[in-house]
Structure 1
Amino acid sequence: MNPVGRSRERGVEHLSLDAAATRNALSADLVGALTDALADCAKDPGVRAVVLTHSGGTFCAGADLKDPPAPREFVGLLRALVELPKPVVARVAGHVRAGGLGLVAACDVAGASAGSTFAFTEVRIGVAPAVISLPLLPRADPRALARYCLTGECFDAAEAVRAGLVTASGDDVDAVLTPVLDGLRRSAPDGLAQTKRLLTAKVLEAFDRDAAELTALSARLFASPTAREGMTAFLERRDPAWVL
């Protein structure tokens, strides 16, 4: 079963994370399928824009600890979202954790339902938000990132908007995104592509400058004894050894 569902409505391709049984965790299969789907959208002239959405109550739970993608493959997915010559809109109607926030940050526009929650949980298992910092740091509020990346606290959609992680939120996420999609359908494809290039230039500079170093850091952290303890504790539903 393909972990990424696809449908199209009036030129907008909807790519749905459809691994609800694992809370849409970023497995090697899901990352590969989503990367391939984006490549198809890039070369399809019938696609004006892409909506990245999900099934189930979780947009993305972060890395699949049982079947994680190679860090370089996840970096490739994030870059594909940023480089896609068509706008990508995140539609979040559930919970977002760790690497899932990297997906949201790599999108051009993000809408969230008021009940959505967010957390950078990497520090809780002994790693760092290394790879996802590539799209996050150029776009989000530094003070908010410092607080939430260092503490792993959960925060709501209104705070995600204030921090620059989400564009807008409301009780009905589809109502929030309707004017966005209407605007994209009224815009010329070439104009959208060139405007997106202008808006993502700083983000891509971060990828060019830092991706190799952060990919190596991520691999090293996930292979560390600290991360093994953190991931084991998570899977066993207990506190890791360092909790005071």
Structure 2
Amino acid sequence: MGEQTIEVENRGAVAWLWLNRPALHNALNEELIRELTLVMRGLRDDPAVRVIVLSGRGRSFCAGADIESMKRLGAASRAENRDNARELADLFHAIASSPKPTIARVNGAAIGGGLGLVSACDIVIASSDAKFAASEVRLGLIPATIGPYVVRAIGPRWARRLFQTAERITAAQAERIGLVHETVEAEALDARVESIVNDLLAGAPGAQHAAKDLIDAVANRPITAELIEYTAERIAVIRAQDEAKEGLSAYLEKRKPGWTPQTS
């Protein structure tokens, strides 16, 4: 039986996913990629899970591609390489398209594919000693499958620099360019992530999913009459739904809405 490359820890309405190859800095091999993709897809329709947190066991978040896997792929056919790359691309898409809020808890280095995992998440909180890099060109490769997510996170201008230099940047630098939302000291990382989790649990799950869809629909589009009409229609539909009615009732009655986890 192979190693358990992903550990799933359920804490109430929150699924904590741990990359579990600490001796190899959580490098991405075929097994980890497939296992994490299956977990992410399974969580899509799990009503018990409201928020997903992704992190790494040990000192690193994710050091990118597994060396042994890279050796095998170096001798593989083009079709085999394409299939492998498609599996990795499917993983990033499974994270980025999750209907539930996703948080990257970056506890250490996020390199190559690890940078892709970070970029695919909605919210990124990093330890101050974390490092980030798109290292592919130093191996004669390109950051292809991670590219759409990294460029979306930091913009094409910074991508032109980081994709070509493969330089490592600090968590503070990553925050300045928009890759990381917030940097905290290592000992404060869990508390800050938990605080954001609590903020997310206070929101309506259906509305959060709709908000993510809204961002995808309006990002980088000119503000035209068509877009204005689209946004008006979206809020009109939402206002008539049960979550909106419950939210307004809870506000008027000075109580927590039904989607908020109840404390004993």
Q: Return the TM-score normalized by structure 2.
A: 0.73
Are 2:186 and 1:186 equivalent residues in the alignment? no
CA deviation map 1:145-193 (0-9, x unaligned): 2222111111100101111111111102223323311111111111111
Unaligned runs of 5+ in 2: 71-82, 220-264
Name the CA shift for 1:180/1:133 in 2 (closer, same or farther; >3 Å).
Answer: same
- 1:82 positional shift: 1.1
Q: Residue 26 of structure 1 contacts residue 63 of structure 1 at CA under 8 Å; is this kept in 2?
A: yes
8 A Cα contact 1:122 1:128, kept in partner: yes
CA RMSD in angstroms comes to 1.6
For each residue in 1:131-155, what CA deviation from the matched residue of structure 2 results, as whole angstroms up to 9, or x when unmatched? 1111111221333222221111111
Alpha-carbon separation, structure 1, partners of 2:4 and 2:218 = 33
Pick from 80, 84, 109 the counterpart of residue 98 of structure 2. Answer: 84
| Partner of residue 174, structure 1 | 190
Give matches, 1:206-221, under 5 Å: none
Please give the alpha-carbon distance, in whole angstroms, between the structure 1 residues aligned to 2:218 and 2:175. Answer: 21
1:56 maps to which residue?
A: 58
Task: Tell which structure's C-alpha radius of gyration is larger.
Answer: 2
2:141 matched to 1:127? yes
What is the SS of the residue equivalent to 2:105?
strand
The question of whether the paired residues in 2 share the 8 Å contact of 1:26 and 1:60 is answered with yes
State how many pairs are aligned: 203
> Which of 46, 65, 68 is equivalent to 1:66?
68
SS in 1 for 2:68: coil
What do residues 188-211 of structure 1 show as CA deviations (whole Å, max 9, x unaligned)?
A: 1111111122224479xxxxxxxx
State the partner residue of 2:120: 106
8 A Cα contact 1:105 1:136, kept in partner: yes
Cα deviation, 1:33-77, whole Å, max 9, x if unaligned, reads 101111121111000010001101111111113125800001100
Letter in 1 for 2:59: G
How much has 1:107 moved relative to structure 2? Answer: 0.3
Q: Which residue of structure 2 lines up, in the alignment, with residue 41 of structure 1? A: 43
4+ residue runs over 3 A deviation? 200-203
Is the CA contact (8 Å cut-off) linking 1:4 and 1:17 kept in structure 2?
yes
Letter in 1 for 2:137: V
- Residue in structure 1 matched with residue 222 of structure 2 by the alignment: none
The aligned residue for residue 162 of structure 2 is: 148
SS in 1 for 2:18: strand
Task: In structure 1, list runs of 5 or more residues that go unmatched.
Answer: 204-244
Matches of 2:137 and 2:40, distance apart in 1: 30
Please name the residue that 2:233 is paired with: none
Query: Is the 1:169–1:176 Cα contact (8 Å) retained in structure 2?
Result: no
Partner of 1:198: 214
Give the TM-score, by structure 1 length: 0.79
